[in-house]
Amino acid sequence: MSERIVILTGAGISAESGLGTFRDAGGLWAQYDLEEVATPEGFARDPAKVHAFYNARRENCRAAAPNAAHHAIARLQAAHPAAVTLITQNIDDLFARAGAEALHMHGELMRALCHSCAARWPAPERMAPEGACPQCGARATRPDVVWFGEMPYHLDEILAALGAADRFVAIGTSGAVQPAGSFVQEAAAAGARTLELNLEPSEATPLFDEARHGPATALVPDWVEAVLAG
């Protein structure tokens, strides 16, 4: 396949694995105040509350399994590794467990970071403020996730891929958060054909050449099979 495909996923692709989305009814931001659990200021104010939030999400993630959408994307990437760039806003490890390689632009729930020496290591099941960095010993550990107001990871690689894309597909994302919400426009400006696969129309739907609505476990395998057959 000569076409270069860039895929952007959001919480919706993991919804059918039982992991909550953020902005759907009853979503995470309806249950928690994101200012308290997903900002550096919230972490500085109450690190124990933030660790408890991510400990609970780590537990849910361990209990979850990749679904048919994760596996379909892994199949596509395995068939055409050089042609497929997979970007995810999700911090769960379901793509890795499905055998896919994703650029985690918002970091990874299963990794820990030392905010003193910047060391990274696999996160223990439960993290706490008294946890010590295995590298420098400082009690300065945090989840290796990107909070609001922090710089997303892999942006150079992402922008290069968007600038060379022939197709851009957004799956299970509301497009509500930047910079990911504008990736469709970056890709379109580079001449890519753009497709949204989402449970329902999102605020970004009008920006796409085509939009298909339904559950990711139905839409994504069908789309991947069509690309592989193409």
CB nearer ligand APR, residue 51 or residue 104: 104
Part of the chain binding ligand APR (CB under 6 A), chosen from 55-63, 116-124, 157-165, 196-204: 196-204
- By the rule CB under 6 A, 16 interacts with ligand APR: yes
Secondary structure (3-state) at 11: coil
One of 5, 6, 8, 11 touching ligand APR (CB under 6 A): 11
Alpha carbon of residue 116 to chain centroid: 25
CB nearer ligand APR, residue 11 or residue 161: 11
- By the rule CB under 6 A, 15 interacts with ligand APR: yes
Query: What are the residues facing 114 on neighbouring strands?
Result: 141
CB nearer ligand APR, residue 40 or residue 119: 40
Q: Going edge to edge, which strands form the sheet with 84-88?
A: 103-104, 84-88, 5-9, 167-171, 193-198, 210-213
One of 164, 176, 188, 190 touching ligand APR (CB under 6 A): 176
In the block, tokens 């922090």 appear at: 150
Judge whether 80 counts as a catalytic residue.
Answer: no
Contact at 8 Å (CB) between 223 and 213? no
- By CB under 6 A, the residues from 56 to 75 that bind ligand APR are none
Torsion of CA 43, 49, 52, 57, to 10 degrees: -60
- By the rule CB under 6 A, 106 interacts with ligand APR: yes
CB nearer ligand APR, residue 4 or residue 104: 104
Q: How many residues does the chain have?
A: 230
- By CB under 6 A, the residues from 112 to 171 that bind ligand APR are none
Least CB distance from residue 54 to ligand APR, whole Å? Answer: 12
Q: Are strands 84-88 and 103-104 parallel, antiparallel or unpaired?
A: parallel
CB nearer ligand APR, residue 21 or residue 141: 21
One of 172, 187, 211, 223 touching ligand APR (CB under 6 A): 172
* Residues 54, 77: Cα–Cα separation, whole Å: 29
One of 35, 59, 157, 200 touching ligand APR (CB under 6 A): 200
* Residues 197, 223: Cα–Cα separation, whole Å: 9
* Residues 62, 56: Cα–Cα separation, whole Å: 10
Residue closest to 179 by CA, chosen among 146, 155, 145 = 155
Least CB distance from residue 12 to ligand APR, whole Å? Answer: 2
Q: What is the contact surface with ligand APR in residues (CB under 6 A)?
A: 10-12, 15-16, 21-24, 27, 89, 106, 172-174, 176-177, 198-200, 202, 215-216
Residues recognised as catalytic? 106
